[in-house]
């Protein structure tokens, strides 16, 4: 079956601009996660959705970052007033159930470059 998909695969923007990154999870997966991966590092947690609601947004670095999942499926990560330090690969993952024992399935990521 289809895995987690993310669009766009690459995004180049200018400092100060607004960007939206989209994630399409595996069908039927109730939990959805966003991570950010900087070069040479492991992914770092940003936010986790259980259904439509954000169950944990403690990883969002500041109020320029926001994410939604209005119908409990597709999610959009929104970054306002982008800064060069936001450049990274943004990863989305989904799991069937919201449990610590569940495997998270990752998408290919969106590579964001802020000039």
Partner 1 sequence: GDSVTQMEGPVTLSEEAFLTINCTYTATGYPSLFWYVQYPGEGLQLLLKATKADDKGSNKGFEATYRKETTSFHLEKGSVQVSDSAVYFCALSGPNTGNQFYFGTGTSLTVIP
Size, binding site for partner 1 by CB under 8 A: 29
Q: Among 17-25, 60-68, 77-85, 87-95, which window interacts with partner 1 (CB under 8 A)?
A: 87-95
Q: Among 16-24, 60-68, 75-83, 94-102, which window interacts with partner 1 (CB under 8 A)?
A: 94-102
Which of 13, 30, 108, 111 binds partner 1 (CB under 8 A)? It is 108
Q: Round to whole Å and give the CA distance between 83 and 115.
A: 8
Which of 13, 45, 64, 66 binds partner 1 (CB under 8 A)? It is 45
Dihedral of alpha carbons 101, 98, 38, 8, sign:
positive
Q: What are phi and psi of 31, to 5 degrees?
A: -105, 140
Annotate 64-85 with three-state secondary structure.
CEEEECCCCCCEEEEECCCCHH
Residue 52 binds partner 1, judged by CB under 8 A = no
**Which two three-digit tokens encode residue 45?**
């947690």
Which residue ranges make up the site for partner 1 (CB under 8 A)?
31, 33, 35, 40-45, 48, 55-56, 58-59, 91, 93, 95, 98-109
């Amino acid at each position: 079956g289809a895995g987690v998909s993310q669009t766009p695969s690459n995004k180049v923007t200018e400092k100060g601009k607004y960007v939206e990154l989209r994630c399409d999870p595996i069908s039927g997966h109730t939990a959805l996660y966003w991570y950010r991966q900087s070069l040479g590092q492991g992914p770092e947690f940003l936010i986790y959705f259980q259904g439509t609601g954000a169950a944990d947004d403690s990883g969002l670095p500041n109020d320029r970052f926001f994410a939604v999942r209005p119908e409990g499926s597709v999610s959009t990560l929104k970054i306002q007033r982008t800064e060069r330090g936001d450049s990274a690969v943004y990863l989305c993952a989904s799991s069937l159930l919201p449990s610590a024992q569940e495997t998270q399935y990752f998408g290919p990521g969106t590579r964001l470059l802020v000039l």
